[in-house]
Amino acid sequence: MQGAPGGGMGPGLSSVDRRMLLVCSFILAAALGQMNFTGHQVLRILAKNEKQLSLLRDLEGLKPQKVDFWRGPARPSLPVDMRVPFSELKDVKSYLEAHGLAYSIMIKDIQVLLDQEREAMAKSRRLERSTSSFSYSSYHTLEEIYSWMDNLVTEHSDIVSKIQIGHSFENRSILVLKFSTGGSQRPAIWMDTGIHSREWITHATGIWTAKKIVNEYGKDRILTNILKSMDIFVEIVSNPDGFAFTHSMNRLWRKNKCNRPGVFCIGVDLNRNWRSGFGGNGSNDNPCSETYRGPYPHSEPEVAAVVDFITAHGNIKALISIHSYSQMLMYPYGHLLEPVSNQEELYNLAKDAVQALYEVHGIKYSYGSISTTLYVASGITVDWAYDSGIKYAFSFELRDTGRYGFLLPATEIIPTAQEMWMAVQTIMKHTLNHPY
């Protein structure tokens, strides 16, 4: 599949104009203290067989690391997307060509997209300040999101409250919104977004969903029935340190920010730190890897806080963990190829949810178990949830399929959230109607 060149500088610019843009990008980034990605490209490779996949995996093991996999080598039928720094482009492209690995350029210059994203955020912020409003079609900082949460709770105290379930490695609050019409320890649905900090579309979708719940309660029959019997918990920023870092320094940061004595690299992949299948295939014991699992299960405070909360609650009936990108809806297992005991029920529910999603904007999602639909991944949220007795455990990969990847334009926030809501509502309704 040929990737559209995402965010090239355009045919109308002379070489002098391009050099000036390059210089301006560097100056702007330096002034803001942010990492600059000028000239970095995202390449897409379609491996023909396992041998070619192995050649791509070898790239990850290079020291220093030369590529950042956005979609890692999984199986020949799935494209591999990787960010290549400008300084490594020549060598990496030569490596691919020498081994007969055909590639296309999905994003021609990452910094162009980052500059557009930053400009859109600044414009939105000015508008929000002048109108004292919150834009659901814009990306926001951690401070803005936490302030919005406080306002939501104040304005809708009859149905939503805020719970602090712990603190991050850098001592930021880990907050959860609870939507409830009363009662204690009622059956509940858990939803989390942003465990991988660079996946900004997930936080934005979580915000829109929270607002949708308060707006639709009492109007939407399905949601109203759910909240009459169940509570809904939404953790919008599952990785606050990493998310803050994507705004202050490195927009493409994935992990948390834990820093251990004697370990050169920073951060743990929080979606490899859960007990189920911990340390297995699809995770890494190298602290410099983007999929570093951490020293032991639940070692990270961001994971431990959720484990403790869900375990103490004891009555979570569905868990939905939101990621991007690839347009998929999946269920356990990630660390095993063997089907779970209620595989048929989960498959049919995923099929119905994806159909409901498709009917909103005509966007197609793949569905199935994580290990057979995406890749084998060990120590992940939904596997832990399922093994902890949560029968309905699902993971979304939101838009898109690689044209923008993690840099999805803010114009796609609301349509992405609208379609996901229909799928989530399908899962919640099934959970309500099939008590266990």
DSSP for 115-171, please give it. Answer: HHHHHHHHHHHHHHHHHT---TTS---HHHHHHHHHHHHHHTTTTEEEEEEEE-TT-
Look-up: residue for tokens 């927009």? 251
- What's the rounded Cα separation, in Å, for the pair 236 and 251? 18
- Which residues are paired to 235 by β-bridges? 192
- Of the chain, the end-to-end C-alpha distance in Å amounts to 44
Task: Check 128, 397, 412, 419 and give the catalytic one.
Answer: 397
* Catalytic site includes residue 155: no
* Dihedral of the alpha carbons of 344, 347, 349, 350, in degrees to the nearest 10: 170
Judge contact between 99 and 47, C-beta under 8 A.
no
Give, for 330, the enclosing helix (H) or strand (E): strand 328-331
- Which residues are paired to 42 by β-bridges? 83, 107
CA within 13 Å, CB half, 47: 19
Query: Which amino acid is located at 222 in the chain?
Result: I
Residue 79 Ramachandran class (φ > 0 left, ψ -120 to 50 alpha, else beta) = beta
Give, for 319, the enclosing helix (H) or strand (E): strand 316-324
Catalytic residues: 397
